[in-house]
Chains A and B, each alone.
Chain A
Amino acid sequence: MNTLALLQSAWPYLLKGTGYTLLFAVGAMVGGLLVGALLAVLRLSGIKALQWPAALYVSAMRGTPLLVQIFIIYYGLPAIGIQFEPITAGILALSLNTGAYVSETMRGAINGVDRGQWEAAFSQGMGRWQTLHYIVWPQALRLAVPSLSNSLISLIKDTSLVSVIAVTELMLATKEVISTTFQPFPLYVAAAAIYWCLSLIFEQVQRLLERRLGRTLARQP
């Protein structure tokens, strides 16, 4: 079988796998942003009882391999009676992991907004949360976009690890095709090309977002 015919026949499987990969990536992006925002807020709350568990969580998630986390959630938790479908387990693991990184980005960006902005909002009688919501967060978001995009683009690649819990996303789909065709080289290259394309799409989204957020602030001295 020549390479072209091979790819042609493999295409439907890879496409279906790509669909799952996108599902994981987008699901975990949303989940990761929510988890990250929650953690960032906890760490900035000024309340010690909330700060240190959040800090501990971030440290643990960043300090252990994602693969191990996926195994714990999918194979480990059933031992204490918590069982997930593979897709749920995958999205959950990726969200919890990405959330830890995202929270650090958000925390840094929030701290990066000038203290004077807090003071100006406070001086008008606004509270902590109002200030965070209306004044600081919108400005922090702009600072955070490049680094958030970094986390979210790595996420696309990290989805390949979910193949270990038997979800036929792009990586496992590729492996399955290889196991029947014995042609690893063109198929892995095809998979790599698809991952790259997905990343390129998200890079484009990042660029659009930066331009949009940058527009109103562009002339700020």
Chain B
Amino acid sequence: MISIKNISKWYGDFQVLTDCSTEVKKGEVVVVCGPSGSGKSTLIKCVNGLEAFQKGDIIVDGTSVGDPKTNLPKLRSRVGMVFQNFELFPHLSITQNLTLAQMQVLGRNRDEATVNGLRLLDRVGLKAHADKHPGQLSGGQQQRVAIARALAMDPIAMLFDEPTSALDPEMVNEVLDVMVELAQEGMTMMCVTHEMGFARKVANRVIFMDKGAIVEDATKEDFFGSPRSERAQVFLSKILHH
């Protein structure tokens, strides 16, 4: 489904990604972790072309992201993305947030888009908030709306960029619950997150990145059982010991 082949990226002289390769198969859940500044977010944003890369290529469902001839908006409309800071549209109601791209990008009519949007809003448990604006919801609620908004486009895969990092601790679980449910339903997911509980529960594989490179790409069992690299061991001991 998502095939990352030898990606390298530079900001000027500074190399942010070094020869990264991995694969996410259909229905797989892959968790990407690593210290801050390791390039995780940059890598995941390369997958839908929000960040450009200078070397290598990424193939999403048969389409090359790096090919200048690729219709990136069309590709993006098929890959859902959830951001660290939710990025709901603050000037639009929750319903409008859920329906805008369905209508503008997929050409669905308002009724169709609204029915679909509200169905997904109900699924994340927020149907009662349909007419509110994002600013009236808590962070956890906003992030659940953001997930519903991405799902409303009927994506073939979902990308999560630190979806719980900006949340107060008591709101983390409500978002993770939605993500676990999605994973169990067979959604193809690539998640940048430090939530190792989530990784243990649903991940097929865990990727550990450091300094722009993929240091470890292992099955969940191997990763938590006996990470091969010293850096991953140190990282795990730091985030699991409390």
Residues of A within 8 A of B (CB): 114, 116-117, 119-127, 130, 134-135, 138-139, 142, 216-221
Known: A122-B50, A122-B76. A138 touches B91 (CB 8 A): yes
Given contacts A123-B79, A123-B81, A125-B74, 19 further A-B contacts (CB under 8 A): A117-B89, A119-B87, A120-B88, A121-B89, A122-B73, A123-B150, A124-B100, A124-B105, A124-B150, A125-B73, A125-B78, A125-B105, A125-B153, A126-B73, A127-B73, A130-B105, A134-B89, A138-B91, A139-B91
Known: A122-B50, A123-B81, A125-B153. A217 touches B91 (CB 8 A): yes
Contact A117 B87 (CB under 8 A): yes
Interface of A, secondary structure class, is helix
**Residues of chain B at interface, number, CB under 8 A:** 31
Q: Judge whether B133 is part of the interface by a CB distance below 8 angstroms.
A: yes
Known: A122-B76, A125-B77. A134 touches B87 (CB 8 A): no
Contact B90 A124 (CB under 8 A): no
CB contacts under 8 Å to A, within B57-76, are 73-76
Min CB gap B22→A, angstroms: 20
Q: Judge whether B134 is part of the interface by a CB distance below 8 angstroms.
A: yes
Residues of B within 8 A of A (CB): 45, 48, 50, 73-81, 83, 85, 87-91, 100-101, 104-106, 133-136, 149-150, 153
Q: Determine which of A116, A134, A135 lies in contact with B83 in the assembled complex, contact meaning CB atoms within 8 Å.
A: A116
**Cross-chain pairs A/B with CB under 8 angstroms, 17 sampled:** A114-B87, A116-B85, A119-B87, A120-B87, A120-B89, A121-B101, A123-B76, A124-B153, A125-B74, A125-B78, A125-B101, A126-B104, A126-B105, A139-B90, A217-B91, A220-B90, A221-B135
Min CB gap A118→B, angstroms: 9
Q: How far is the CA of A130 from the CA of B106 in the complex (A)?
A: 13
- Which of A121, A125, A126 is packed against the most chain B CB atoms within 10 Å? A125
